Structure 1
Amino acid sequence: MTDRALAPKREIFGWAMFDFANQAYTLLIITVVFGDLFTRVIVGDGPDYRLGNLLWSLALATSYLLVVVCSPVAGAVMDYTARRKQFLFASYLLTVVATAALYFVAPGYAMLGVLLIIISNFAYSIGEAFIASFLPDLGPPDKLGAISGIGWALGYVGGMFSAVFVLLYLGDVSEENFDRIRWVGPWAAAFFLVAAMPTFIFLRERGRPRALPSGTGYVRLGLQRVGGTLANLKGYRDLAVFLLSTFFAMSGMYIIIAFSFIYGAQVIGWDEGVRTLMFVIVQISAAVGAVGFGLFQGRLGGLRTYRVTVLLWIVAVCCIYATPQLSAFARDWLGVNWEAQYVFLVVGTLAGSALGACQSTTRALVGAFAPQGHAAEFFGFWGLSLKLAGAFSLVLMGGLQVLVGLHLAILFCALLFAVAFLVSWPVDEARGRRAAVTAPP
């Protein structure tokens, strides 16, 4: 097999625009606005909000478990039938409809919110695996880091664009402002609907469909293909070990994504202006991290870059936990009166850089390790690793914060990143790329 040629710029742009579009869901629904709205207003069990946090964790974990069940089979079916764009389109429409329906979630209707989050986050999350399966088609392995970084960076730019309407017109998250802020769901859905259209216009389906064997349905076919991949996974040892490392790294990241702004509101006690500034800082630093580390990856290598980002995450999580202590240290030893919320902004820059870099590097490495002709199937396993990580970490986080509170529970993330670093040590990037090149079609 020869290296894949670089795809036309318009196709790379179309692929990256899906990241631009779907970031509205991640940012506005999961990270910044609706998660905070759900825990503090819709459930509203203050002052510690432990029930709201637990329901939020369980809703997200359930959606990720559904992806775990469906993603590998869907990936195998897509590879066989060459219908990746159709699957992607279906997940996109389901995300849009379920996200728009979040408008109807009000205080007293918490379980409706749980149901709609499960549906919308399932559709969004499985769509992540679907769009990622196109990445190996877009260029040779040594270019995938830069292409993936462009996608993630454009995603964070999309997040900033999508949030302008919320920041200018919908206002803060509060019970008094509920009638305005509840429009965050329809707005995120509309943004995703419109901004993702270039993806379906420019992105090509390069696979060739094959007829189903007599007496075999799609689900059975998918299960057979997944079983075959599992049986032969020993031939892709580096990919398998890397996916295990990714499991632990993404476990930590899913907690940060789901709870960072909840943490800011409940533990740091930030003002609305600081919350807005944190949003901007994280988006910019994540975009810079994705592009910067994507370019850096071509020189240092994907695996080394990944390990650097994991170490960066360990430092960031420790700083998140120690933000109140860092504020006190600045006051008592340096004579600087920095409130904890402003120290948290500095920590947010570090976490944002790690966020964009780690996500981009991980996706590019899976693309380099995935055999051509089996991209959707292997990215299905990547999606399985990520969403199983989300379910695992958020269930544990939900229980931990009930027992010890959100402040102390956040340290669990540092442990997860440390395990990810250690597990990645046996991976050999060159060997993993050779296995992908020499794989049978």
Structure 2
Amino acid sequence: MNEGGAALTDVDTTKRPDGDPADPAGPAAHTDPDGPADPAARRREQRGWYFYDFACSVYSTSVITVFLGPYLTSVAKAAADPDGFVHPLGIPVRAGSLFAYAVSASIIIAVLVMPLVGAAADRTGRKKPLLAASAYLGATATAGMFFLEGERYLLGAFLLIVANASLSVSMALYNAYLPQIAGPDERDTVSSRGWAFGYASGALVLVLNLVLYSGHDSFGLTEGMAVRICLSSAGLWWGAFSLIPLRRLRDRRIARAAGGGADGSGAAGAGAGAGAMGGGWRQLVSTLRDMRRHPLTLAFLIAYLIYNDGVQTVISQASVFGSEELGLEQTTLITAVLLVQVLAVAGALGMGRLARVYGAKRTILGSLVVWTAILVAGYFLPAGAPAYFYCLAAAIGLVMGGSQALSRSLFSHLVPRGKEAEYFSAYEMSDRGLSWLGPLVFGLAYQLTGSYRDAIISLVIFFGVGSVLLARVPMRRAVEAAGNPVPARI
């Protein structure tokens, strides 16, 4: 890769004698078998990788966590009947549940798409064009939220579904680069830095959003127009900064057996690439069968699926809980999330250091205890008390980034080589892809009880069950069973 950066379709075709991708310097120079031989080149690629978190985290922060939940709920309420229900496709839905249901729908769609994309990426070795397509589809849908106004709740739900599903697909591809750009002993650090970059960008843009929203009158804007600008600007940011990782990350050609395909059964070269999407579902079945041969990897993935479902639901529904149940002003919610973003940078880096001392698994388990305490405290939080809400936000910030970053790096040790995109597609189903159950439970709890407190406390079970299952996974044996070197601490 030259210093000017690779084009979107550049692929490294150099092979080592054993058939694996490598740089021309040869295998001896590699900390990680798939990484660049030159440490400076490896760091440059890692820095480019960080910037996708920097690009897309603004969507997660400004759109999902802060603005879209309350705003889409208000649009749905404006279109609701006298009983407070809207009727998409003739189905009665309480207006306050629409946002949670749309998040669930986006995730179900992502589940259907990610296996196809993961199979295409692993069969062709060309993750970067797929990353570009999903990133820019999501960025375009987010920018289109500028047109969400009046009673257009269906437009808002549609754009949310497209953007959120695109984010899930792109993150699966992005995460699949981690084992290729970082050696076993540096993945906790690299993963944590990626999350820190994301939280830093989220905080920066949220400051700008706060200035625009709180001073919208002085800018000659209505409150609704200010929110729409904040939503659409997240899409513009996502698209602009995605250019950096797309220039610096390298595609790595997948070695193929003599029979042709990556598994020795298909056509090689262009034929395999052309049939990748069509064979996506067959590849999904193959991936699931392969994961059965790695039961400890599957056990970790199930544990992560459960506890991360709770994490994602808290993140996506926090602003709705704050505005609808606690009666907090939008400015309070923005500053609270800004506090989360600032502390999450320190939390991600700090938990990365704790993992080097105590191991990633123990550090994650400790964070899940804190998550459980946060939900219990949230249930008893008094309405109209911003100070208590800020305390809760600070606690979330300290554990949010670290628990997710360390989970990503821990899983990277459990992935068999050559199957990164497929396995990280399954991981992304757990990270965002199968995290539909939490929002669904949250939405149903509110629909049945009319209380967001009941909805928030129902999430405790995700952290409790996830902790028990994670504690039962023997990590060293799991890494060895995947055929990977075991780091000093895990």
Fold shared per TM-score above 0.5: yes
Matched residue SS, 1:183 = helix
1:40 aligns with 2:74: yes
1:95 to 111, 125, 138: 138
Kindly indicate whether the alpha-carbon contact (under 8 Å) linking 1:60 and 1:121 is maintained by their aligned counterparts in 2: yes
Kindly indicate whether the alpha-carbon contact (under 8 Å) linking 2:443 and 2:455 is maintained by their aligned counterparts in 1: no
Query: Given the two structures, how large is their TM-score scaled by the length of structure 2?
Result: 0.81
1:123 to 166, 170, 173: 166
Match of 1:18 in 2: 52
Q: For residues 373 and 107 of structure 1, do their structure 2 counterparts lie closer, same or farther at Cα, with a shift above 3 Å needed? A: same
Structure 1 residue 369: Cα displacement: 0.8
Kindly indicate whether the alpha-carbon contact (under 8 Å) linking 1:95 and 1:123 is maintained by their aligned counterparts in 2: yes
User: Which amino acid in structure 2 is aligned with residue 34 of structure 1?
Assistant: L
**1:57-68 correspondence runs (5 A):** 57-68=100-111
User: Which amino acid in structure 1 is aligned with residue 226 of structure 2?
Assistant: R
Distance in 1 separating the partners of 2:362 and 2:132:
35
**1:129-183 alpha-carbon deviations (Å, 9 max, x no partner):** 1100101112222211111100001100010122233211244899951123211
1:403 aligns with 2:448: yes
From the CA coordinates, give the structure whose radius of gyration is larger: 2
Match of 1:8 in 2: 42
Distance in 2 separating the partners of 1:225 and 1:285:
41
User: Which amino acid in structure 2 is aligned with residue 425 of structure 1?
Assistant: A
1:280 aligns with 2:338: yes
User: Which amino acid in structure 2 is aligned with residue 244 of structure 1?
Assistant: I
Structure 1 residue 105: Cα displacement: 1.3
1:145 aligns with 2:191: no
Q: Which has the higher contact order (CA 8 A, sep 6+)?
A: 1
Q: For residues 47 and 285 of structure 1, do their structure 2 counterparts lie closer, same or farther at Cα, with a shift above 3 Å needed? A: farther
1:417 aligns with 2:475: no
Distance in 2 separating the partners of 1:108 and 1:438:
54
Kindly indicate whether the alpha-carbon contact (under 8 Å) linking 2:375 and 2:459 is maintained by their aligned counterparts in 1: yes
Structure 1 residue 82: Cα displacement: 0.8
Q: Percent identity?
A: 25
Distance in 1 separating the partners of 2:158 and 2:376:
33
Matched residue SS, 1:319 = helix
1:76 aligns with 2:119: yes
Distance in 2 separating the partners of 1:33 and 1:345:
17
1:359 aligns with 2:393: no
1:105 aligns with 2:148: yes
Distance in 2 separating the partners of 1:87 and 1:382:
17
Distance in 1 separating the partners of 2:370 and 2:213:
34
2:392 to 347, 354, 357: 347
Kindly indicate whether the alpha-carbon contact (under 8 Å) linking 2:97 and 2:443 is maintained by their aligned counterparts in 1: yes
Match of 1:187 in 2: 233
- Flag the structure with higher helix content: 1
Distance in 1 separating the partners of 2:159 and 2:427:
25
Structure 1 residue 273: Cα displacement: 4.2
Kindly indicate whether the alpha-carbon contact (under 8 Å) linking 1:96 and 1:193 is maintained by their aligned counterparts in 2: yes
Kindly indicate whether the alpha-carbon contact (under 8 Å) linking 2:191 and 2:406 is maintained by their aligned counterparts in 1: yes
Distance in 2 separating the partners of 1:260 and 1:381:
26
**1:334-393 alpha-carbon deviations (Å, 9 max, x no partner):** xxxxx6221111111111222111111111111111122111111011012233532111
Distance in 2 separating the partners of 1:269 and 1:124:
30
Matched residue SS, 2:416 = coil
Distance in 2 separating the partners of 1:104 and 1:255:
26
Q: For residues 27 and 407 of structure 1, do their structure 2 counterparts lie closer, same or farther at Cα, with a shift above 3 Å needed? A: same
1:291 aligns with 2:337: no
Match of 2:224 in 1: 178
**1:305-357 alpha-carbon deviations (Å, 9 max, x no partner):** 22111111111111111222xx9xxxxxxxxxxx6221111111111222111
Kindly indicate whether the alpha-carbon contact (under 8 Å) linking 2:31 and 2:183 is maintained by their aligned counterparts in 1: yes
2:319 to 250, 256, 261: 261
User: Which amino acid in structure 1 is aligned with residue 73 of structure 2?
Assistant: T
Distance in 2 separating the partners of 1:18 and 1:160:
15
Distance in 2 separating the partners of 1:108 and 1:383:
33
Q: For residues 222 and 400 of structure 1, do their structure 2 counterparts lie closer, same or farther at Cα, with a shift above 3 Å needed? A: same
User: Which amino acid in structure 1 is aligned with residue 189 of structure 2?
Assistant: A
Kindly indicate whether the alpha-carbon contact (under 8 Å) linking 1:43 and 1:107 is maintained by their aligned counterparts in 2: no
What residue ranges of structure 1 are gaps of 5+ in the alignment?
328-338
Q: For residues 16 and 388 of structure 1, do their structure 2 counterparts lie closer, same or farther at Cα, with a shift above 3 Å needed? A: closer
Q: For residues 259 and 48 of structure 1, do their structure 2 counterparts lie closer, same or farther at Cα, with a shift above 3 Å needed? A: farther
Matched residue SS, 1:437 = coil
Distance in 1 separating the partners of 2:484 and 2:300:
19
Distance in 2 separating the partners of 1:340 and 1:249:
28
Query: Given the two structures, how large is their TM-score scaled by the length of structure 1?
Result: 0.90
